[in-house]
Amino acid sequence: MGCVDTWLSEQRAHIEAAAVRIAGRARRTPVLVSELEGGVVIKPELLQRTGSFKVRGAFNALLQMCAHRPEVRGVLAVSSGNHAQAVALAAAELGLEATVVMSADSQPLKVAATRALGARIISDGITMANREERARQLAEDLGLPMVHAFDDWDVVHGQGTATLELLGDHPGISLVVVPVGGGGLISGTALAAASSSPRVRVIGVEPEVAADAAQSLHAGRVVALDAPPATIADGVRSLHIGDIAADVIIGRGLVEDITTVSEGAIEHAIAVAAQQLHLVVEPSGALPLAALLDGKLPRRAGDGPPALLLTGGNVDPQLLSRVIAAG
Amino acid sequence: MGCVDTWLSEQRAHIEAAAVRIAGRARRTPVLVSELEGGVVIKPELLQRTGSFKVRGAFNALLQMCAHRPEVRGVLAVSSGNHAQAVALAAAELGLEATVVMSADSQPLKVAATRALGARIISDGITMANREERARQLAEDLGLPMVHAFDDWDVVHGQGTATLELLGDHPGISLVVVPVGGGGLISGTALAAASSSPRVRVIGVEPEVAADAAQSLHAGRVVALDAPPATIADGVRSLHIGDIAADVIIGRGLVEDITTVSEGAIEHAIAVAAQQLHLVVEPSGALPLAALLDGKLPRRAGDGPPALLLTGGNVDPQLLSRVIAAG
């Protein structure tokens, strides 16, 4: 076993340990074989607690913190919404206080849900551009450890558990498709996939107007957006991928490709999910389906149906209503 | 073992045989533990093939027909939509021709889906009031056996398989809640429940404006509606329950109660399903959730969370859009 394989085995062990750690706290979501295109496989993380996959990483990170830093009484997180809810839930269950920095233009539904889970929310003067810096300052001022939404190995290993479940339930899968924002999910997915079999490829999907990860992969270095992107996919608005994702995607080449879809394709995918899959998907969570419907997924001879990770369902009701009416 | 128990054991054997027969054709839907009211259990049959539980009964009935009447080349069905799609799918897969009588005011989406599955549709001059009679005449004229939507033992046993799966996956369930139209589903549910344990109670839910089953249970005899009811729940508009349901519900007393909900409560339940469960439920399928949210479910000390069978997801997009926007 070479050095690279040793590293991958180590990552695998961390993801498997995460799966054991979060069992009974995060939900084991079902795997659905849909009627789309002859049996596209769906891992509906919108059925996860709080309506998104983020609880996997949040529970893994906070449980690790409880085990190794028992003096910690609270944590701080930055999030556009789903990581916020996930940290709020995990903190509440583990008896920790959660402080969450959310940009002032966050989706109101996600802000309300986070508050309802008992978190303290800081959003005055917070923007997508300044939130990371403000949070780091706050963490220092308040003496709180920060649970990063994607650039944290415990979070990445937690997110990877979804793909462990997927490949465990459907061993024949050869293509796993996930949304890309800061790159935490795609990193965990790629580590879980590559350590399962070299046959399992991973594709990321981004909005066209937030294509920094695709550009980064193709350029071979991290490319950042100049400004917060104007996409309805509020879960993937980070300006650039994190260091861990850069290592996994660019450095180690564990992601086959990252493709992009238009805003219209995202809306269409939300409508198709509602009408044909009977699932409510939020814009970020609809990215893999948008890529499928748009013919953006590479297919190889002998490939079985692709597996789509539909990552969340916390969509603004007015947006959902409009998109469904438009078909 | 007395006579009653013998009869129940026989019904149980039929439902278990149906489960074996339809395996690999109807889907084994997951059982979800939701975040509603401390863990209400959901059996989401909207994730079933064609988007409703009806394929269970249709496959069981058509497979029995294939086995025992190999000379049959086609079947006839009467349906407001979901049974139509189910029979069309099962017939197509088994190489039979399907003719479906649908009232002219059937939901357009369901008509289109039935046609897309290869069925011949007869709807000219068909109303909810005359469709049964017209279908019987057609069956005679065309020499086709009729697959009744609810008053057929094979159909009833097929529908009962959903509850076998539910109680198999969650043995602690003590209350199962289902919609009631013609009574095929509630009969199969009650037979599966009673034969599992006398501890498992079954509650039916009807629209207030279509409360014939509730009235029948309370009166001890079959009560029929005078005219097709003006409910958005298009799956439960039959004028009265069938003979099998009368036997199971009234004669043998295997259903604890049938409760009713308003049209507004049904719409609210559709919105809650979309926003909190991230599931798209059609009006008939939302009846159990409407009863829960409306406080209409009897709870006993020591009861665990109830299990709701959300039976289908084929909702008109404009209705869904409107209901979600209204919250």
- Mark yes or no for CB contact A279/B279 under 8 Å: yes
What is the residue whose two structure tokens read 């597996």? Answer: A307
Helix H or strand E segment including B319: helix B317-326
Residue B267, pLDDT > 70, answer yes
Pairwise pLDDT comparison (B153 vs A105), residue with the higher score? B153
Percent of chain B with pLDDT over 90: 87
B124: tokens are 């000219």
Residue A147, pLDDT > 90, answer yes
Residue B60, pLDDT > 70, answer yes
pLDDT at B303: 84
Q: Name the phi and psi angles at B256, rounded to 5.
A: -65, -45
Residues of B with a Cβ under 8 Å from any A Cβ are 27, 30, 32-33, 35, 44, 46-47, 49, 51, 271, 274-275, 277-281, 313, 317-318, 320-322, 324-325, 327
pLDDT band at A1 (very low <50, low <70, confident <90, very high): low
Spatial separation of the C-alpha atoms in residues B81 and B74, rounded to whole Å: 19
Spatial separation of the C-alpha atoms in residues A312 and A185, rounded to whole Å: 12
Residue A185, pLDDT > 70, answer yes
Question: Quick one: DSSP state of residue A2?
Answer: -
What is the mean predicted confidence (pLDDT) over B154-179? 97
Q: What is the 3-state secondary structure (H, E, C) of A93-106?
A: HHCCEEEEECCCCC
Residues of A with a Cβ under 8 Å from any B Cβ are 27, 30, 32-33, 35, 44, 46-47, 49, 51, 271, 274-275, 277-281, 313, 317-318, 320-322, 324-325, 327
- A104-113, B48-57, B220-229: which has the minimum mean pLDDT? A104-113
pLDDT band at A81 (very low <50, low <70, confident <90, very high): confident
pLDDT at B1: 62
Handedness of CA A162, A166, A167, A169 (dihedral sign): positive
Q: Name the phi and psi angles at B41, rounded to 5.
A: -90, 135
Residue A299, pLDDT > 70, answer yes
ipTM of model = 0.95
Residue B107, pLDDT > 90, answer no
Number of separate helices (H) and strands (E) present in chain B: 12, 9
> Which residue in A has a C-alpha nearest to residue B278's C-alpha?
A280
Q: First and final CA of chain B: distance in angstroms?
A: 52
Spatial separation of the C-alpha atoms in residues B169 and B132, rounded to whole Å: 37
> Which residue in A has a C-alpha nearest to residue B273's C-alpha?
A280
- A68-72, B14-18, B60-64: which has the minimum mean pLDDT? A68-72
Residues of B in contact with A313 (CB under 8 A): 278
- Mark yes or no for CB contact A275/B327 under 8 Å: no
Within 8 A by CB and 6+ apart from B104, the residues are B123, B124, B125, B126, B127
Percent of chain B with pLDDT over 70: 100
Residue A86 distance to chain B (closest CA, Å):
14
pLDDT at A128: 83
Spatial separation of the C-alpha atoms in residues B59 and B25, rounded to whole Å: 7
Spatial separation of the C-alpha atoms in residues B282 and B34, rounded to whole Å: 18
pLDDT band at A221 (very low <50, low <70, confident <90, very high): very high
Mean pLDDT over each residue of chain A, to the nearest integer: 95
pLDDT in tens, B192-248: 999 999 999 999 999 999 999 999 999 999 999 999 899 999 999 889 999 999 999
Q: What SS3 class is residue B256?
A: coil
Q: What SS3 class is residue B71?
A: coil
pLDDT band at A152 (very low <50, low <70, confident <90, very high): very high
Q: Is B157:B64 a contact under the CB 8 Å cutoff?
A: no
Residue A85: name the closest of A53, A63, A61, A60 by CA.
Answer: A53
Percent of chain A with pLDDT over 70: 100
pLDDT at A77: 96
What is the mean predicted confidence (pLDDT) over A312-323? 97
What is the mean predicted confidence (pLDDT) over B66-72? 93
pLDDT in tens, A239-278: 999 999 999 999 999 999 999 999 999 999 999 999 999 9
- A163-172, A304-313, B105-114: which has the minimum mean pLDDT? B105-114
List the alpha helices (DSSP H) in chain A. 3-22, 54-68, 82-94, 108-116, 131-142, 153-169, 184-196, 212-219, 243-245, 263-272, 287-293, 317-326
The amino acid at residue B137 is Q
What is the mean predicted confidence (pLDDT) over B176-188? 98
| Preferred mutation among B35, B46, B278 to probe A, highest tally of A CBs within 10 A | B278
B127: tokens are 């109303």
Mean pLDDT over each residue of chain B, to the nearest integer: 95
pLDDT at B304: 84
> Which residue in B has a C-alpha nearest to residue A285's C-alpha?
B278
Spatial separation of the C-alpha atoms in residues B151 and B222, rounded to whole Å: 14
